[in-house]
Amino acid sequence: MKRKKLTAILMTAALAGVMVFGCGSNSADEENTKNTSADAQDEEKEEPVELLIAAAASLEYSYEDELIPMFEEENPGITVKGTYDSSGKLQTQIEEGIEADVFMSAATKQMNVLSEESLVDKDSVVNLLENKIVLITSVDSGLELSDFTDITKAETIAIGDPASVPVGQYSEEALTNLGLWEEVSAKASLGTNVTEVLNWVAEGSADAGIVYATDAATTDKVKVVAEAPADSLTEPAIYPVGVVTASANKEAAQKFVEFLQSEEAIKVFEEYGFIQYNE
């Protein structure tokens, strides 16, 4: 009888041990599962990324007021900063090593050079927008101008520097083809970017100037006299965009380039006077 009781006690103790061990194992398994799940979630969280966009001066308003906030809202892990100047200056800065991730110029010339130098990924480049070249005066100007060729009637003229400013290059080309470049350049002040040209005319420092239609639309201090004749330019003012080869954030940079091609982004560009480029 004692032997049976002892056996029963031993079996009960063994069973209790198994149950305790089993509960301990389950708890450990659950804890491991929780830890593994947490680790996976941490891995899924993207590291914060900051992009630097080097863009032509004529893009500043559309980028800062609409496009960058829109992109950041759709991509909460990415912050975008813009630096704006003439495309020629930005080209030089990229060649000198500025840590830009995306380049958008106001002409194909600068983009082509950087692509050939392997400083912009050629496969990422997209000709995105088109702009118009226009003759402007201040809104209260007393000059009676009605045609683009009437620019010769102005005593002081503001033009972008053709050496580095795309709008200046387009201006020189159009005026040369119209047979007016020598006469105009003799009384022209050369701006370092299109914004400077616009401000000179708006402030009355120049009687007339040549800018992009989109820039003229940003202020009520100037009025558009006329567009450059279509046949005065070999090709329209095309805005290409691409990923800088040295970018440390290629995936995010490409995402921004693709965003600029979206319907919502194109709609914003059009609100600022740009035209979607179609070859």
Contacts (Cβ under 8 Å, ≥6 apart) of 8? none
Give pLDDT tens digits along the chain (279 positions): 444 444 444 444 444 444 444 444 455 455 554 454 444 444 445 689 999 999 999 999 999 999 999 999 999 999 999 999 999 999 999 999 999 999 999 999 999 999 999 999 999 999 999 999 999 999 999 999 999 999 999 999 999 999 999 999 999 999 999 999 999 999 999 999 999 999 999 999 999 999 999 999 999 999 999 999 989 999 889 999 999 999 999 999 999 999 999 999 999 999 999 999 987
Q: Of 160, 174, 172, whose CA–CA distance to 88 is shortest?
A: 160
272 is in an annotated binding site: no
List, in sequence order, the alpha helices (H) in the chain. 2-44, 60-62, 68-74, 87-95, 108-116, 166-177, 181-185, 194-203, 213-216, 250-260, 263-271
pLDDT of 235 reads: 87
Angle, helices 108-116/166-177, rounded to nearest 10 degrees: 120
CATH of domain 49-130+238-276: 3.40.190.10
What are the start and end residues of each CATH 3.40.190.10 domain in the chain? Answer: 49-130+238-276, 133-232
Do 195 and 234 contact (CB within 8 A), yes or no? no
Do 54 and 98 contact (CB within 8 A), yes or no? yes
The whole-angstrom separation of Cα 203 and Cα 139 is: 10
Contacts (Cβ under 8 Å, ≥6 apart) of 129? 238, 239, 269, 274, 275, 276, 277
Q: Kindly provide the b/e burial profile for residues 55-76, where b requires at least 16 CB atoms within 10 angstroms of the residue's own CB.
A: bbbbbbbbbeebbbeebeeebe
pLDDT of 45 reads: 54
194 is in an annotated binding site: yes
61 is in an annotated binding site: no
pLDDT of 179 reads: 97
State the DSSP string of 131-157: E-EEEEEETT------SGGGGGG-SSE
Strand order in the sheet with 157-160: 188-191, 157-160, 208-212, 133-138, 222-227
Taking the CA atoms of 129, 133, 138 and 142 in sequence, report the sign of the dihedral they define.
negative
The whole-angstrom separation of Cα 10 and Cα 150 is: 112
87 is in an annotated binding site: yes
pLDDT of 279 reads: 76
Class of 133-232 per CATH? alpha beta
The two tokens of residue 150 are 């009437």
